[in-house]
Amino acid sequence: MIRVVLPHHLRTLANVGKEIELEVSEPVTLTTALNALEAAYPLLRGTIRDRSTGQRRPLIRFFACGQDLSHESPDVPLPAAVASGAEPLLIVGAMAGG
Amino acid sequence: MATVRVLVGTRKGAFILTSDAARRDWDINGPFFAGWEIYHIKGSSVNPNCIYASQSTAWFGQLIQRSDDGGATWTPVSNEFVYQGDLGTHQWYDGTQHPWEFKRVWVLEPSPTDAEVVYAGVEDAALFRSDDGGQSWRELPALRQAKGSLWQPGAGGMCLHSILLDPTDPQRLFTAISAAGAFRSDDGGQSWRPATHGLKSNWELPDPEAEIGHCVHSITMHPSRPQVLFMQKHWDVMRSDDAGENWYEISGNLPSDFGFPIAVHAHEPETIYVVPIQSDSEHYPPEGRLRVYRSRTGGNEWEALTHGLPQAHCYVNVLRSAMAVDALDPCGVYFGTTGGQVYVSPDSGDHWRAIVQHLPPVLSVEVQTLR
């Protein structure tokens, strides 16, 4: 079981609370975590990853364990603390102000 | 008793304004989809309780929402817009070729005969159609074959922002694309050709009469006379009497012929409305006076409509999709501004009042007349 924290607008869209729990089979990577998230909440398809390319949308960030994982390969295993559920995977709308 | 429902898309959500036929007292509901950009929200004329909305942000991309109860509740439908066939390329800002990339839906046009059929105009410019109420979308890719490699994004992006469906001929469609031009299909979208003969862009194009590249800001028609089209171009207000085969200028005595929206009176096909803007680099009304201009002669002779509109220190813009009319008698005219005001004239433009003053910047205004 992993824990995922969604940004405000996606919580509203998916009609969930701040944190959700997902079953993700090994290996736990961004790809497998997001696949599980989109399978559980199909409304989120296209809001985190581009529907055509599968790439992270430019203003989405992935944080966990105090690290920015946004630029890591999506197929690299996530930190063990995320895979075990000790720490959440944070999906964040990037700062884009001025 | 007839009522009107005004559907307003803004930079930070949608609002629904309702009134009885007097159009004096208004209920204001919203924001719906708070915090999201609502480029367009439009109801079906077949089933007015069926309303479609384009919802997007730079962060989370594109969603399409559908309501079946007049906007009280909403359900997301498909947001999967996939270009068909060879992706192809268009011109980029530096003159190189650039592959098509989906960015957002600018306009939703429900069919006049079937509430489940709806068209979507998108950026990068393409036309999509849904036959199942938005549950799935398929591109009509022949449009991009109308010399799409020559299309180039303008400052606002390469957007397909206008879709006109001929109510007398389901095979005939018109689209308009910023910095590409106007296009017509006579076979339900299976083939397209530019409909730009007569347009002149003296300052924007090396060949002012080129077939491709005119920056069309909006086009409209009266449903009783679909051969007659009106266009607000980057500069110039234009008219065609032969379904887009030929265009001629009708700017006449306008103080500026730059602008974005153009609308036709519901009951008088020769009465049209524009909102002149100072220039392409000064997107506000000339002299800081917000004036709608009305022609009762199908163009060329224009009168300023000012009663109730700010006539000093007004520097808002009215965007291309932010003007509409109702079908009551007298015809009501509505527009929204980048300053967040939505104005109504219940008497065809003679008198105006603000329905609401402090919304986010208004992107689109559509009106439903409910009987």
3-state secondary structure string, B175-221?
EEECCEEEEEECCCCCCCEECCCCCCCCCCCCCCCCCCCECEEEEEE
Nearest to B79 among A51, A58, A94 (CB): A51
- Surface-to-core class of residue B195, CB atoms within 10 Å of its CB (0-12 exposed, 13-18 middle, 19+ buried): buried
Please determine, for residue B3, whether its predicted confidence score (pLDDT) is greater than 80. Answer: yes
CATH number of domain containing B226: 2.130.10.10
DSSP 8-class letter at B47: S
For A50, the domain range is 2-93
For B272, the domain range is 69-334
| Cα–Cα distance for residue pair B116/A71, rounded to 1 Å | 41
pLDDT in tens, B144-181: 999 999 999 988 889 999 999 999 999 999 999 999 99
Assess if residue A98 is contained within a domain. Answer: no
Closest CA to A66 of A83, A94, A89: A89
Is there a contact between A45 and B80 if contact means CB atoms under 8 Å apart?
yes
pLDDT in tens, B14-40: 999 999 999 999 999 999 999 999 999
Please determine, for residue A96, whether its predicted confidence score (pLDDT) is greater than 80. Answer: no
User: Judging by DSSP bridges, how do beta strands A2-5 and A89-93 pair with one another?
Assistant: parallel
Q: Which of A43, A51, A92 to mutate to test the interface with B (most CBs of B within 10 A)?
A: A51
Query: Which amino acid, B351?
Result: H
Is there a contact between B60 and A94 if contact means CB atoms under 8 Å apart?
no
Assess if residue B60 is contained within a domain. Answer: no
CATH number of domain containing A40: 3.10.20.30
At residue B142, the pLDDT reads 97
The whole-number average pLDDT for the span B347-357 is 98
Residues of B in contact with A54 (CB under 8 A): none
pLDDT in tens, B68-80: 999 999 999 999 9
pLDDT in tens, B38-51: 999 999 999 999 99
Count the domains in chain A: 1
At residue B86, the pLDDT reads 85
Backbone angles phi, psi at A35, to 5 degrees: -60, -45
pLDDT in tens, B92-142: 988 899 999 999 999 999 999 999 999 999 999 999 999 999 999 999 999
Backbone angles phi, psi at A62, to 5 degrees: -120, 115
Assess contact for B36 and A10: CB atoms under 8 A: no
* Any B CB within 8 A of A85 CB: no
| Cα–Cα distance for residue pair B37/B19, rounded to 1 Å | 25
Listed by number, the residues of chain A in 49-78 with a beta carbon closer than 8 Å to a beta carbon of chain B are 50-52, 57-60
At residue B56, the pLDDT reads 98
pLDDT in tens, B290-324: 999 999 999 999 999 999 999 999 999 999 999 99
Residues contacting B204, CB < 8 A, separation 6+: B213, B214, B215, B234
Please determine, for residue B366, whether its predicted confidence score (pLDDT) is greater than 70. Answer: yes
DSSP 8-class letter at A70: T
Assess if residue B12 is contained within a domain. Answer: no
pLDDT in tens, A17-44: 989 999 999 999 999 999 999 999 999 9
| Cα–Cα distance for residue pair B315/B256, rounded to 1 Å | 15
Assess if residue B303 is contained within a domain. Answer: yes
Query: Which amino acid, B87?
Result: L
* Any B CB within 8 A of A13 CB: yes
* Any B CB within 8 A of A95 CB: no
List residues in chain B touching A: CB distance below 8 A.
Answer: 35-36, 57-63, 76, 79-82, 102
Assess if residue A44 is contained within a domain. Answer: yes
At residue B72, the pLDDT reads 97
pTM comes to 0.96
- Grade residue B208 by pLDDT with cuts at 50, 70 and 90: very high
- Grade residue A98 by pLDDT with cuts at 50, 70 and 90: low
Measured between its terminal Cα atoms, the distance across chain B in Å is 6
Assess contact for B178 and B216: CB atoms under 8 A: yes
- Grade residue A60 by pLDDT with cuts at 50, 70 and 90: very high
Nearest to B79 among A9, A46, A96 (CB): A46
Whether residue A77 has a cis bond before it, omega within 30° of 0: no
| Cα–Cα distance for residue pair A74/A55, rounded to 1 Å | 9
Assess if residue B263 is contained within a domain. Answer: yes
Nearest to A93 among B59, B62, B63 (CB): B59
Residues of A in contact with B85 (CB under 8 A): none
Q: Predicted ipTM?
A: 0.92
| Cα–Cα distance for residue pair B313/B310, rounded to 1 Å | 8
At residue B252, the pLDDT reads 98
Assess if residue A48 is contained within a domain. Answer: yes
Strand partners, B97: B91
At residue B93, the pLDDT reads 87
- Grade residue B255 by pLDDT with cuts at 50, 70 and 90: very high
Assess if residue B43 is contained within a domain. Answer: no
Assess if residue A56 is contained within a domain. Answer: yes
Please determine, for residue B230, whether its predicted confidence score (pLDDT) is greater than 80. Answer: yes
Nearest to B61 among A7, A57, A96 (CB): A57
At residue B131, the pLDDT reads 98
Q: In terms of CA atoms, which chain A residue is nearest residue B36?
A: A9
Residues of A in contact with B137 (CB under 8 A): none
Q: Which of B32, B33, B36, B59 to mutate to test the interface with A (most CBs of A within 10 A)?
A: B59
At residue B69, the pLDDT reads 98
Assess contact for B187 and B289: CB atoms under 8 A: no
Please determine, for residue A97, whether its predicted confidence score (pLDDT) is greater than 70. Answer: no
**Which token pair is B113?**
């005969």
Nearest to A47 among B61, B80, B81 (CB): B61
Backbone angles phi, psi at B126, to 5 degrees: -165, 165
Residues of B in contact with A9 (CB under 8 A): 35-36, 57, 59-60
- Surface-to-core class of residue B151, CB atoms within 10 Å of its CB (0-12 exposed, 13-18 middle, 19+ buried): buried
Half-sphere exposure of B268 (CA within 13 A, CB side): 19
Whether residue B276 has a cis bond before it, omega within 30° of 0: no
Count the domains in chain B: 1
Closest CA to B115 of B368, B306, B302: B368
Mean pLDDT, rounded, of chain B: 97
Please determine, for residue B269, whether its predicted confidence score (pLDDT) is greater than 70. Answer: yes
Residues of B in contact with A34 (CB under 8 A): none
Residues of A in contact with B57 (CB under 8 A): 9
Is there a contact between B59 and A45 if contact means CB atoms under 8 Å apart?
no
Assess if residue A78 is contained within a domain. Answer: yes
* Any B CB within 8 A of A37 CB: no
| Cα–Cα distance for residue pair B296/B316, rounded to 1 Å | 26
**Which token pair is A33?**
């975590």
Assess contact for B163 and B107: CB atoms under 8 A: yes
* Any B CB within 8 A of A48 CB: yes
- Surface-to-core class of residue B91, CB atoms within 10 Å of its CB (0-12 exposed, 13-18 middle, 19+ buried): buried
At residue B1, the pLDDT reads 82
**% of chain B beyond a pLDDT of 90:** 96
| Cα–Cα distance for residue pair B193/B189, rounded to 1 Å | 10
Is there a contact between A9 and B76 if contact means CB atoms under 8 Å apart?
no
